[in-house]
Structure formats: C-alpha cells, structure tokens
Amino acid sequence: MVKLIHTLADHGDDVNCCAFSFSLLATCSLDKTIRLYSLRDFTELPHSPLKFHTYAVHCCCFSPSGLILASCSTDGTTVLWNTENGQMLAVMEQPSGSPVRVCQFSPDSTCLASGAADGTVVLWNAQSYKLHRCGSVKDGSLAACAFSPNGSFFVTGSSCGDLTVWDDKMRCLHNEKAHDLGITCCDFSSQPVSDGEQGLQFFRLASCGQDCQVKIWIVSSTHILGFELKYKSTLSGHCAPVLACAFSHDGQMLVSGSVDKSVIVYDTNTENILHTLTQHTRYVTTCAFAPNTLLLATGSMDKTVNIWQFDLETLHQARSTEHQLKQFTEDWSEEDVSTWLCAQDLKDLVGIFKMNNIDGKELLNLTKESLADDLKIDGYSYEKEAMENWISKKKRTSPMTNLVLPSAVLTPNRTLKMAINRWLETHQK
C-alpha cells in the first residue's frame, strides 16, 4: 500500500520540480523561489525560501552528497546553493543567455550539466564553477537530462523528441527519435540490468513525452561494440502527455506524472501498474523518489507537493519479482525448455538439450564452459561457408578441438556480426 502522509502548499504558483537528498526535499516553482524541507517532519528550513532568480525556476537538483543544490531558470542562469545555510555559491550564466530548462549533477559531483531552450547544453566544472565544455542539439529546446549511473555519459531529451547521448567530452555518441511530439523527462535506473560480459554494462533508461507514452530503453556500453541504445517497451496507463518520470533508488519501481492529473507507479521488472494516485487537481509536473526512505514526492500545477509513503509490503512485492521469475524458470520441465528454445529460434538445439536432460534448473546453471564441455557444443566461430563445406564432406568433428560433434547445427554468432558491422560503419565513413 501507499498513503499520502503530507501536503506542502507553500508555493504561490505551479510547482515545476522536486528533488530529494538524504535529509532534505527541495521544490521549485513558477513563483521564482526554491524551498527546502527537512525529511524528519517536513518543516521548512529557516533559510528557505531561496531567492535570486528573476523568472520561473524550472529545475532543481542536489549534488550526490546533498551539500549543494543547483537551480536553473528562465532568467538564463544556473545557481549553486549551500544547503546548510542557504548561501549562494555561484551564478553560472548560460553562454547564449537562453532560458535554462534542466540541470543535473554527475554521479561523482565533478560536473553539472545545464540544458537551455535554444538547444545548448553546457558542462560546468562543479568545483571551479567554470564552463568546461559546451554543445548543442540540432533542433528544439532541451527539456530533460540524466547521467548514466557510472558517469561515463549523459542523455538529453529535446522538444523535437530526440534522445541524444553525450560523453564527458561533449561528443555525440547517439541520437534517436524517441517521442514524436517532444520529450519532457528522462531518468536512469541506478541499478544495472545485468552485469553482462566483461567490459559490458547494461542500464535501464526511462523517457516520457507529449505523445502520452513512457518508454523503456536498454543502454549498453562496451569496448568492442561501443555505445548502443535499444528500445525495450512502452508502458501504458496515461491518457494525456506525460510530464515526469523517475526510478526508485533500488531500480525496482518507476513513477510517472501526467497532464491527466494522475501519478502511476510501475513495477520495473514486470512493467505492471502497482498504484495509480489521483489526488492532484491539475497537471502533475514532477515526481521523485527519496534515496534512502520509502518516500515519493509529486508536484503539480495545483501549487502543491504531495508526499507519499510506501509500506514494506509494496517494496517487497517489487523486489521479489525477479526472484519469482527465477523460481518460475527453475520449475520448467524439459518440454518447457524445448518450447522456450523454439520461441528463441533455437529449435535445432532441442535435441541436444533433451539428450542431456536440461530442465529449468539446469538451464539457469548453464555457462559457456558447460555448453562447450558438457553439451559438446563447439563454441568456436567460423566462416559459415567454410563450416558448411567441412560438414558436407561428412566430417563430424570440430575443426578446432577434433572432438566429435553430436550435432551439425550451426548457430549464428550475432555478437561478432554486430561488432563487424559496427567496425565497417565506422571505417567506411
């Protein structure tokens, strides 16, 4: 269950953004102010509200330590604040003077990214407060920004619907049309999807937009294949533009807020809806999970911020999903495994798996070594034509090991093919 435990109603205009540190909640508004609250009892701090901006404050975010708060505004500035006393540390002006729509700290606190209405994105040195690097998207204004959990790259989203991936040198790694009518927000899960191969990292990215959709992407980065962004799925539930999305700190839940005035909480493993919250009376513009407690904040054009608390049952439900899926696979019979192989377009391996009595439990324990040694699957890569010629001469042994092959099935090495194609694309330009 999730329950509303507090409502903050101190802003005099639309709430544009809210953000948590380990001990504080920050909110910002069209009323030009930023407010700070203690998580102990949600009382406003003595040095709040923070005032400097001359126009609407669009975004605010804490440094990972929580000691610094960044805010950005239509006035073209990004301001750094000391959260302990409310003193202003720096005012960083966007080079173009364009309204700044979004700001985000890197995971190691060394950089701060700011994105503006004219499409420019700036990386600031968060220690010296100096401009480090600058770039821009081809079209549209910037509305979203998120750093990867390892800090090696960051993603921006534009009003034209493009997701653009940048490295720390402001080189564009990837650009993709993600939402037809414009992107409003994006966020990375802090937890990797899979450890993968050595040097390979998978991350889950969520994006949302004016097309009423929340999309999930899988992002991978490897020394061999480079960077890759793959569409995974679209989450249903909203019937109007989605303005905000955010992952929980453990990556088990995803929340979204919409023009339809609702907040939806999803289980990220099953992508099922856990909760739909409908207390706001106008558009939901922002949502954020706390990093260390079971709290969710949602802000709205109704000038309020609602604080929600999840019970342990909901958290356990989300966290146990992956374990349940594993248990489900463990219960597979040999026939279930055969059906799964056929669904994966690997029906030629059914005979080998049946011969070795591979059920669900055995399937989960298979490794590259066991495939090669126990199942006698060769595991080496050859030119298809050469291997077909080898087999056509009635040779039933491995060209590499000279061991007898129990099957003449050739399995495509898709990973190697992708690496070759990427190399060709790079060197033929």
pTM: 0.73
Are 114 and 47 part of one and the same domain? Answer: yes
Out of 260, 294, 318, pick the residue that ends a domain.
318
Identify the three-state secondary structure at position 330: helix
pLDDT for 322 equals: 47
User: Contact at 8 Å (CB) between 257 and 263?
Assistant: yes
pLDDT at 327 over 80: no
375-401 confidence digits (pLDDT tens): 555 656 777 777 777 777 766 677 766
When pLDDT is averaged across residues 277-288 and rounded to a whole number, the result is 97
When pLDDT is averaged across residues 209-213 and rounded to a whole number, the result is 94
Confidence of residue 421 (pLDDT cuts 50, 70, 90): low
Identify the three-state secondary structure at position 361: helix
User: Residue 219 maps to which CATH number?
Assistant: 2.130.10.10
pLDDT at 198 over 70: no
Compute the radius of gyration of the chain from its Cα atoms: 25
Are 76 and 101 part of one and the same domain? Answer: yes
Are 172 and 122 part of one and the same domain? Answer: yes
Identify the three-state secondary structure at position 323: helix
pLDDT for 131 equals: 94
Are 12 and 92 part of one and the same domain? Answer: yes
Are 423 and 276 part of one and the same domain? Answer: no
Q: Which domain holds residue 347?
A: 319-428
pLDDT for 350 equals: 78
Average pLDDT, the chain: 85
- Amino acid, single-letter form, for residue 427: H
pLDDT for 368 equals: 46
Confidence of residue 191 (pLDDT cuts 50, 70, 90): confident
9-68 confidence digits (pLDDT tens): 999 999 999 999 999 999 999 999 999 999 999 999 999 999 999 999 999 999 999 999
Are 79 and 221 part of one and the same domain? Answer: yes
pLDDT for 212 equals: 94
Burial 82-108 (b: 16+ CB within 10 A, else e): ebeebeeebebebebebbbbbbbbbbe
Are 160 and 292 part of one and the same domain? Answer: yes
User: Residue 395 maps to which CATH number?
Assistant: 1.10.150.50
Out of 277, 297, 318, pick the residue that ends a domain.
318
- Amino acid, single-letter form, for residue 42: F
User: Contact at 8 Å (CB) between 79 and 69?
Assistant: no
